[in-house]
């Protein structure tokens, strides 16, 4: 039984990577590609939402480029400033940051808005180009969730 479930999990991961890699050859533009990736991540990992933000180096703001699963109200809550958010370590150090409770974690810039949106946990990963972090892929859950090493590896593969 354990071996079968392991094989099913691996097949799911490979299927996700294949689906995303096939998008690279068929997407019309980068924004479309990023939005498709956000949707696929939500659907395949069973999370509430996914967003992709790129750093505007002049303003320090994380510019939303793609989102799936978040309300317009949450998206429009205000600018996400890299120095005031969990994305600071993601962008500055290229680290993966896990937030267990977005409504109480001091690293979250908009904790009340996260609570209203029903966001419980967050996982933020660096988007890298040539070893340099340029943005972040963030995954949101509506219940407490510890991501497995395999899920984190899979998301890092997508982010890179």
Any idea which fold 2-159 has? Answer: Beta-Lactamase (3.30.450)
In the predicted structure, residue 119 carries a pLDDT above the cut 80? yes
Percentage of the chain with pLDDT > 90? 48
Report the C-alpha gap between 121 and 103 in whole angstroms.
9
pTM for the whole structure: 0.82
- Per-residue pLDDT of 48-91, as tens digits, reads 999 999 999 899 899 999 999 999 999 999 998 887 777 777 77
Domain residues of the chain, as ranges?
2-159
pLDDT band of residue 95 (cuts 50, 70, 90) is: confident
**Alpha carbon 112 to its chain's center:** 20
In the predicted structure, residue 23 carries a pLDDT above the cut 60? no
């Amino acid at each position: 039984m354990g071996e079968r479930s392991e094989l099913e999990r691996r097949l799911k991961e490979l299927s996700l990577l294949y689906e995303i890699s096939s998008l690279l050859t068929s997407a019309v533009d980068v924004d479309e590609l990023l939005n498709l990736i956000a949707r696929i991540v939500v659907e395949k990992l069973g999370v509430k939402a996914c967003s992709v933000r790129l750093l505007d180096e002049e303003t320090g703001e994380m510019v939303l480029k793609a989102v799936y699963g978040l309300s317009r109200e949450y998206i429009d809550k205000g600018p996400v400033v890299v120095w005031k958010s969990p994305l600071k370590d993601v962008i500055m150090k290229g680290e993966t940051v896990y937030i267990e409770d977005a409504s109480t974690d001091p690293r979250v810039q908009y904790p009340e808005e996260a609570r209203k949106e029903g966001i419980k946990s967050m996982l933020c990963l660096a988007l890298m180009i040539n070893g340099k972090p340029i943005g972040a892929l963030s995954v949101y859950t509506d219940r407490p969730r510890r991501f497995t090493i395999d899920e984190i590896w899979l998301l890092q593969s997508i982010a890179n």
